[in-house]
Structure 1
Amino acid sequence: MGVVLNYHYCLFSLMLLLPALCYSQDTFTCSRATYYGSPDCLGTPTGACGYGEFGRTVNDANVAGVSRLWKNGTGCGGCYQVKCTVPKLCSDDGVNIMVTDYGEGDHTDFILSPRAYLRLARADAAAQLFAYGVVDVEFRRISCKFAGYNNLMFKVHEHSRFPQYLALVFLYQTGQNEILAVELWQDDCKEWRGMRRAYGAVWDMPNPPQGSITLRFQVSGSMGMKWIVANNAIPADWKAGVAYDSAIQLY
């Protein structure tokens, strides 16, 4: 019942969507997808990637939880083109989604936001597709692209406590890259200290270095395997909840 009531609102919202934020590559893989309940058709602020409110509306709320693509949190921030394969009901291009959560369904790789699930369907077949609940799909990895945001940003997680505990979340992760490790430079010891992947896309460290923080992170994907250094990326008086521009682009 809730799906039927929400469907009309989602359909109206779809008319207001901006153009897709991703550009595609690679071949398709067969899988299955379903959707989760949401009264406003958006993402959830409690997603397992740790994005919070960012995860509700990023990519026009075309977001999803994934299972095997989760990769112990490394898959957070990845983008995929997902197309359903039900004859006469599915749109040609499907939907471009961003991974913001972990979830398992009935042998599904994707648990889509209602808005994203709606975009799988042809304009006159959305109600019929919602009635399926779970549909066969094909998907491929694509490069993320965010309108108005070219640079990677480091957000100090709201749970951080200055200066004793620092947690970071990486936002606007473009390209097809995955972040494998993060380290902070300890100037007094002249060495790199590794951050812990707390969960999803959240990296943390107790007793972080004092002063402005230089960090480096290891990426794997469209940029190859490499370490990228962000000098003085986070100010000495960093604040919880604030996002800082890295001036770094991942392509």
Structure 2
Amino acid sequence: MQLLRTSPHLLCFLTLLLASKMSAVSASGQVPAHKPVSDQHWYPATATWYGSPEGDGSDGIGGACGYGSMVDVKPFRARVGAVSPVLFRNGEGCGACYKVRCLDKSICSRRAVTVIVTDECPGGYCSNGRTHFDLSGAAFGRMAVSGEGGQLRNRGELSVIYRRTACKYPGKNIAFHVNEGSTNYWLSLLVEFEDGDGDVGSMHIRQAGGSEWMEMKHVWGANWCIIGGPLMGPFSVKLTTLSTGRSLSARDVIPGNWSPKATYTSRLNFSPSKP
């Protein structure tokens, strides 16, 4: 994913070009049905850990979703998870939350750890269509009975069960980080702290005084972009979740005098679905 970050403008352009060529095909397709985000059924998977033993996984880097240093602080801290491509979904799985529990009663707690998808593990244990969680050292150790976190990490790969769960960010509202390099002709946003589904299926913006919602394109991770211009703020932003299709509109959340690398917090959030 590092390569994608080095040329975001080009990547955005190529994404829009590809989308325009596919629009005739997608327009006639049906919207897929999605299960409720919280699932009471547990499914088999495997798990490993990465980073430092008590660390946050993508320490100081942030991982393939683009959350950056956010992974090192609450509410992400110690809840970081990299997932195999079947759950990462080319970045559309970013922000989704899962409960993961190991099964060895001799060392594993009955308690499940809740993790947030912030990264992808594309090879090794995560290849060949496997469902795999590569957890931060801290999250992996939390699955152990008290005092046995180190011994559990020494086991290496574990058999686990997992299920989707609603994301909960108490005291947080949805925020939009304006990515570095954004201009009045190229705007890229990173979505943060989405309660409930956690994932984003589509994203639109509306310019100052406008009535039309303009579609943004998913670029990589949790990042979306639009090319046009000149784009005039303040901008309203509409999100639709991938999992359940719920929508939310934040009016004039990005001010007219916005600046790259700034983060703008809305007054809204989804209510987490009940587990």
**Is the contact made by 2:248 and 2:270 (CA closer than 8 Å) also made in structure 1?**
no
Q: Distance in 2 between matches of 1:97 and 1:214?
A: 30
After superposition, give the CA deviation of every residue in 1:86-119 in whole Å (9 maximum; x if it has no partner). 2311011131111101114424520000100110
User: Counterparts of 1:94-243 in structure 2 under 5 Å?
Assistant: 94-104=112-122, 105-106=124-125, 107-149=130-172, 151-157=173-179, 159-186=180-207, 190-207=211-228, 209-221=231-243, 224-243=244-263
Aligned residues: 224
- Specify whether residues 26 and 41 from structure 1 end up closer, same or farther in structure 2 by C-alpha distance, changes over 3 A only: same
Cα 1:207–1:39, aligned 2, differ >3 Å: closer, same or farther? farther
Does structure 1 residue 36 correspond to structure 2 residue 36? no
CA distance in 2, matches of 1:211, 1:156: 13
Deviates more, 1:29-38 or 1:121-130: 121-130
Paired with 1:212 and 1:32, the residues of 2 have a C-alpha distance of 45
Q: Which SS does the other structure have where 1:59 is aligned?
A: coil
Separation in structure 1 between the aligned mates of residue 44 and residue 105 of structure 2, nearest angstrom: 15
- Unpaired runs of 5+ in structure 2? 1-37
Checking the alignment, whether the CA contact within 8 Å between 2:202 and 2:242 is kept in structure 1 is no
CA shift at 1:188, angstroms? Answer: 7.4
Q: Deviations over 1:141-187 (max 9, x none)?
A: 111112431x1111112x23333332111111111253111112246
Contact 2:82 2:133 in 1 (8 A): yes
Q: 1:122 to 1:244 in 2, by over 3 A?
A: same
Distance in 2, matches of 1:226 and 1:128, equals 42
Task: Classify 1:37/1:227 alpha carbon distance in 2 versus 1 (closer, same or farther; 3 Å).
Answer: closer
Shift of residue 211, structure 1, vs aligned partner: 2.3
Partners of 1:94 and 1:121 within 8 A in 2: no
Deviations 1:8-56 (A, max 9, x none): xxxxxxxxxxxxxxxx752211110001123761232241111111123
Counterpart of 1:176 in structure 2: which amino acid? D
The one-letter code of the counterpart of 2:205 is L
Helix, strand or coil at the partner of 1:61:
coil
Whether contact under 8 Å (2:51, 2:57) holds in the other structure is: no
RMSD of aligned Cα (Å): 2.2
Structure 1 segments of 4 or more deviating over 3 A?
A: 186-190
Equivalent residue letter for 1:118? G
Name which of 60, 81, 87 aligns with 2:99. Answer: 81
- Cα 1:238–1:39 change in 2 (3 A) is farther
On the 8 A contact 2:65/2:220 being kept in 1, the answer is: yes
Q: Which has the higher strand share?
A: 1
Matching residue of 2:25: none
State the match for 2:110 in structure 1.
Answer: 92
Q: Distance in 2 between matches of 1:167 and 1:180?
A: 16
